[in-house]
Amino acid sequence: MKKLFYGSMFLTIASLVIGMFSFDNFRDRVYLAAMLLGFISIFAGLEYLIRNANKK
């Protein structure tokens, strides 16, 4: 489960970063940057919940 979580997190962030460099439109880059920040915050929250669930 952890490997799947970290693998999907890495693939999501990598695809968004690659998309930011491949698009020439500034609006698309800003949209992808916002998605990247949103996904990072979601994954950080999920990681926090997973770590707290393992402590119990």
Q: What is the pLDDT of residues 3-55, one digit of tens each?
A: 777 777 788 778 878 877 887 788 888 888 888 888 888 888 888 888 888 87
| Predicted local confidence at residue 22, as pLDDT | 80
Could you list the beta-strand ranges (E) of 1-56.
none
What residues contact 29, with CB distance under 8 A and at least 6 apart? 20, 23
Q: How confident is the model at residue 56 (pLDDT cuts 50, 70, 90)?
A: low
CB-based contact 56:14 (threshold 8 Å): no
Which tokens in the block code for residue 11? 């693939």
Asked whether the beta carbons of 1 and 47 are under 8 A apart, the reply is: no
CA distance 50 to 14: 22
